[in-house]
Structure 1
Amino acid sequence: MSNESARPRPPVVTPTRIVCAVLLAAPFVALLWVSSYARTTPEFLGIPFFYWYQLAWVVVSAVFTGIAYVLFKREEARRR
């Protein structure tokens, strides 16, 4: 083993990693801003906005996490 391969690589900030960070931070920020969805209207199938908005973010978060995972793995594969 050479000494080169044992050294850890410095962290790299790339546009792909920035996109991944935004995708992962968006649900966190959207749900922390409670005043934006603390209301009952509009209703969806009789469910107040407050509840279905949060439930919708569960699905959106899963999609965003999957996209971030795929983007990050592709970039890591290209770097090697």
Structure 2
Amino acid sequence: MVTPARVVIGLCLVAPFVAMLWVGSYAKTDPVLIGIPFFYWYQMLWVIISTALTMVAYKLWQRDQRDRATRSEDGGASK
């Protein structure tokens, strides 16, 4: 079953792959940040962003599973 939460989970997990596979968007040296070329600090920034997005996806998944368990318990009790 596709729910809005599951769509957000999917987007959170796919975004880092798209960002890293689209090399043309970050294959350059400018702008430099603290002497580090863009190519390198952009990738390191995505390590942090990916961690945050994975954490969000995991929390949403936990909530979705908890809600499904609650709905199935409620549905079973009413029969």
TM-score, structure 2 as length reference: 0.86
1:61 aligns with 2:50: yes
What do you get for the CA RMSD once the two structures are aligned? 0.4
Q: Which runs of 5+ in 1 are unaligned?
A: 1-11
Q: In the aligned structure 2, how far is the partner of 1:19 from the partner of 1:63?
A: 13
Deviations 1:47-80 (Å, cap 9, x if unpaired)?
0000000000000000000000000100110111
Give the C-alpha shift of residue 39 in structure 1. Answer: 0.3
Runs of 4+ aligned structure 1 residues displaced above 6 Å come to: none
| Equivalent pairs, count | 69
Q: How does 1:1-80 map to 2 (within 5 A)?
A: 12-80=1-69
Deviations 1:17-47 (Å, cap 9, x if unpaired)?
0000000000000010000000000011000
Greater per-residue helix proportion: 2
Give the counterpart letter for 1:60 in structure 2: I
Q: Which runs of 5+ in 2 are unaligned?
A: 70-79
TM-score, structure 1 as length reference: 0.85
Q: In the aligned structure 2, how far is the partner of 1:58 from the partner of 1:66?
A: 12
